[in-house]
Structure 1
Amino acid sequence: MRPPPGLEDTIGPGKVFKLRKAIYGLKQSPRAWYHKLSSTLLDKGFRRSEADHTLFTYPSQRGNIVILIYVDDIIISGNDKVGIQDTKQYLRSIFDIKDLGELKYFLGIEVCRSEEGVFLSQRKYTLDLLKDVGKLGARPVETPLEEKYKSNRKGESNEALFEDVKQYRRLVVKLIYLTITRPDICFAVNQVSQHMQKPTVLHWEMVSRILKYLKGAPGQGIWMVCNKNTELVGYCDAEYAGDRGDRRSTTGYCTFVGGNLVTWKSKKQKVVSLSSAESEYRAMRKLTTELMWLKALLKDLGINIPRPITMHCDNEAAIHIANNSVFHERTKHIEVDCQKVREQVQLGVILPCHTESSEQLADIFTKAASSKVFEYIHSKLGLMDLTRPQVKTLNY
């Protein structure tokens, strides 16, 4: 521990500081710990990723070593087994660390590995959540929201305030963390999280329906296949004026690396779009930023993507605006977003591609889909429940 600035000269022989509060509970402690840990790794020769400052890499002739840190929890991976053991020994000589062995459980995320791939889920976290709210015996539902759900205008439904606001907020925060491995509830959680200040009885019923949906498949997660493919692809969609309260659109996108789902997002746009093409273009701009970040992150991991990244969009007008270098009266209000996307198109980083609405995988991030659409998109996203037996239909 070092004394605060200005008090260095007050320390003399036999004098110590009396702590009125534990260092672990101070706001400065995470920053001080990160500075100490990062400087230790940098002295060892690791490189800090500019795309994610919690990621450190160490390339060598024997392979690569990757370290991902979250406060005082560390994941060490790579294809240099000797280097990994040397890194553990180096960290053990400086810090008091505990080696938990092969990664199986990290911050509520369960990791199951095999020769075919990796399966990520939050089954225990989901079951604990259902147990806390007494929903283990609830009757499951097929979708987290009712089919063709639309937010109600003011005065259209029961607006009686929900009494226990703290319980509502606590459950919604837990559901937000659950979306790390459950993209299927991303849009539903986005809807209930918009009413944290004054939730109504209707909003609480929406939360209860999400919990009943989780009861049907608590072990569902993401299956990532080991196919040695690093192609980067993105899907984006928008629900034009979907919120009937303020008429703002909802942006949804998802990205794949080698056919495996890696990131996804469902978020209401900050401004009101004047057309469906504008709302779709704002979604393209969000996806463009995400793809640029993923490309930089993969580069830090030693994976270069020389070809343009395919961006799937089901709105031809938005694609034409991206490829057209001439602005006119109808597009001047979205000129800033146009410049962002068009710049990357001209540089050869992004390649907009039209896809049919039926094949738009980002559709479930913008609206409440039917159970049939849900089941189809889940298979495309790589979502499955390993705890549920797979039934195959035989044709005779």
Structure 2
Amino acid sequence: MGNNSELIESLLRQMSSTFKIRDLGRPSFFLGIEVLAYNSGLLLSQKRYMLDILARAGMTDCKALATPATVSTTAVPSAEPFDNPTQYRRIVGALQYLTITRPDLSYSDNRLCQFMHSPTEEHWGLLKRVCRYAKGTLDLGLHLTPSTRFDIHAYSDSDWAGCPVDRKSTSGYAVFIGNNLISWVSRKQRTVACSSTEAEYKGLADVAAEVTWLVSLLNELRLHSGQPATLWCDNLGATYLAANPVFHARTKHVEIDYHFVRDKVASGDLVVNFVSTQEQLADIFTKPLPVRRFQALRSKLNVAAYQPCA
């Protein structure tokens, strides 16, 4: 990658003298991802792949829904076992690849993956809901636009003890370079958090590790602005912990995560700031949301619908 076309062409010539390579030009379709020119940028779409998933599930003509997860119900492993677990695993695995361009599906797919070992009829119902949401959003994709900014900012959130089965928390984060979303995760934490501050701090540690890797990559490409990355968290306790070593005596159970984030803050690599829950973009990765809230956050994550020019 680079902005010097002569240097790129020279590199390609040198490589072609040693390896058999072919320049395919501008990207169009690669590994199931379609690259579309859209609104002064690119739209990464997996519409064809989504249609294939719907065909596998036998839901090509299903009715569309506005969200992939309902706010009112939560799956529990007490229902009748699903009679075709292989089909469940196959479709859930396919949906996992779909999250490459659809961050709005990350939470729902992460929840479905937690029941791969023994899915029930209720889990199959949740899977069908995700497919019905995909049916209604076939034209959505991840929008990338040119940017002169290379500052890194990330949103981190955790839903404390949100799982009714084991009371583990779900963490999520969204990392932006300039205006573009380039990394996101929805993941259940491995241990039970004793407080909301601990759950949020574990999430901060995860996104701090991701941001550290991205800074290293940008430095290698000579694109890093040199400014510290900004992490946004909606928990005041976790925000204070990142900046105030006095709190350490009260939080020995999060000592490793504490030291990792604190070292990054102390060295000036990271800045941890508070953001209100209403402005917390990572909220979409940790819990089911009402339609209006879900669609608003989806839009802020640069998930847009492709509209060809007339």
TM-score surpassing 0.5? yes
> Cα distance 1:357–1:327, how it changes in 2: closer, same or farther (>3 A)?
closer
Give me the whole-angstrom Cα distance separating, in 2, the residues matched to 1:89 and 1:129: 40
Contact persistence 2:89–2:116 (CA under 8 A): yes
Structure 1: state its 5+ residue gaps.
1-65, 67-77, 390-396
Amino acid at match of 1:191: R
Q: Equivalences for 1:1-396 in 2 at 5 Å?
A: 66=1, 78-113=2-37, 116-152=40-76, 154-155=77-78, 159-327=79-247, 330-387=250-307
Q: Secondary structure at the match of 1:146?
A: coil
Give me the whole-angstrom Cα distance separating, in 1, the residues matched to 2:197 and 2:13: 56
Contact persistence 2:38–2:306 (CA under 8 A): no
- Higher RCO (C-alpha under 8 Å, 6+ residues apart): 2
Contact persistence 2:42–2:143 (CA under 8 A): yes
Give me the whole-angstrom Cα distance separating, in 1, the residues matched to 2:81 and 2:308: 38
Question: What is the percent sequence identity of the aligned residues?
Answer: 38
Contact persistence 1:241–1:272 (CA under 8 A): yes
Contact persistence 2:44–2:141 (CA under 8 A): yes
Give me the whole-angstrom Cα distance separating, in 2, the residues matched to 1:324 and 1:369: 33
Give me the whole-angstrom Cα distance separating, in 2, the residues matched to 1:183 and 1:149: 22
Give me the whole-angstrom Cα distance separating, in 2, the residues matched to 1:308 and 1:97: 39
Give me the whole-angstrom Cα distance separating, in 2, the residues matched to 1:268 and 1:344: 24
Contact persistence 1:140–1:212 (CA under 8 A): yes
For residues 150-189 of structure 1, give each alpha carbon's deviation from its aligned partner in whole angstroms, at most 9, with x where no partner exists: 343x54xxx2111212111111111000000000010000
Give me the whole-angstrom Cα distance separating, in 1, the residues matched to 2:248 and 2:39: 54
Contact persistence 1:252–1:366 (CA under 8 A): yes
> Cα distance 1:376–1:203, how it changes in 2: closer, same or farther (>3 A)?
same
TM-score for both structures, normalised by structure 2: 0.94
Contact persistence 2:75–2:122 (CA under 8 A): no
Give me the whole-angstrom Cα distance separating, in 2, the residues matched to 1:384 and 1:149: 28
Amino acid at match of 1:132: R
For residues 47-68 of structure 1, give each alpha carbon's deviation from its aligned partner in whole angstroms, at most 9, with x where no partner exists: xxxxxxxxxxxxxxxxxxx3xx
TM-score for both structures, normalised by structure 1: 0.75
Contact persistence 2:56–2:91 (CA under 8 A): no
Give me the whole-angstrom Cα distance separating, in 1, the residues matched to 2:59 and 2:65: 12
Deviates further, 225-234 or 360-369: 225-234
Give me the whole-angstrom Cα distance separating, in 2, the residues matched to 1:327 and 1:114: 49
Deviation at 1:100, TM superposition (A): 2.3
Contact persistence 1:249–1:272 (CA under 8 A): yes
For residues 114-141 of structure 1, give each alpha carbon's deviation from its aligned partner in whole angstroms, at most 9, with x where no partner exists: 6722211111111122123222210000
Deviation at 1:293, TM superposition (A): 0.9
Give me the whole-angstrom Cα distance separating, in 2, the residues matched to 1:114 and 1:334: 45
Bigger radius of gyration: 1
Contact persistence 1:327–1:335 (CA under 8 A): no
Amino acid at match of 2:14: Y
Deviation at 1:197, TM superposition (A): 1.2
Structure 2: state its 5+ residue gaps.
none
